[in-house]
A and B are shown apart, each in its own frame.
Chain A
Amino acid sequence: MYKTQRTYVKPEMKMAGLIFENPTLLLMMEHFDLGISAIQDKSIEQICNDNAINLQVFTSFANLYNGFIPTDGEFSSNDEFVTIIKFLSRSHQYYKNEKYPEIRGYISQLYANNEAEIIRLIEKFFDEYFAEVTEHLGYEDSVAFPYFNSLIESSKFNQVNNPFSANDYRDHHTDIESKLFELKSLFIQHLSLKGDRAIHRKLLYSLFELENDLNIHSLIEETILVPLVRQIERSRGVV
Chain B
Amino acid sequence: MSSHSTNIAIVESSQIVYEGLINILVKSHQHYQFYRFDSIEEINTTRLDCKIDVIIINPSLIQFNSRDCNTLKRINPSVHWVALVYSFYGKDILAQFDAIIQISDSAEYIKQTLSNLISSTAAEIDSVQKEPLSEREIDVLVQLVHGLSNKEIADKLNISIHTVMSHRKNITQKTGIKSQSGLTIYAISNKIISLDSLAL
Contacts and interface: CB of A to CB of B under 8 A. Distances in A.
Interface string B180-199: 01101110111000010000
Interface of B: 1, 34-37, 42, 45-48, 130, 175-179, 181-182, 184-186, 188-190, 195
Contacts of B45: 68-69, 71
Interface string A171-208: 00000001101110110011110000000000000000
Contact of B47 (A69, A128, A191): A69
B186 A2 contact: no
B88 to A, nearest CB: 29
29 contacts: A1-B36, A1-B46, A1-B48, A3-B34, A67-B46, A67-B47, A69-B46, A69-B47, A117-B195, A118-B189, A121-B181, A121-B188, A122-B185, A125-B182, A182-B177, A182-B179, A185-B175, A185-B176, A185-B177, A186-B182, A186-B186, A189-B176, A190-B175, A190-B177, A190-B186, A190-B189, A190-B190, A191-B185, A219-B47
Contacts of A189: 130, 175-176
A119 to B, nearest CB: 10
A90 interface: no
A192 B182 CA distance: 15
B182 A2 contact: no
Contact of A118 (B47, B175, B179, B188): B188
Contacts of A67: 46-48
A220 to B, nearest CB: 11
A185 to B, nearest CB: 3
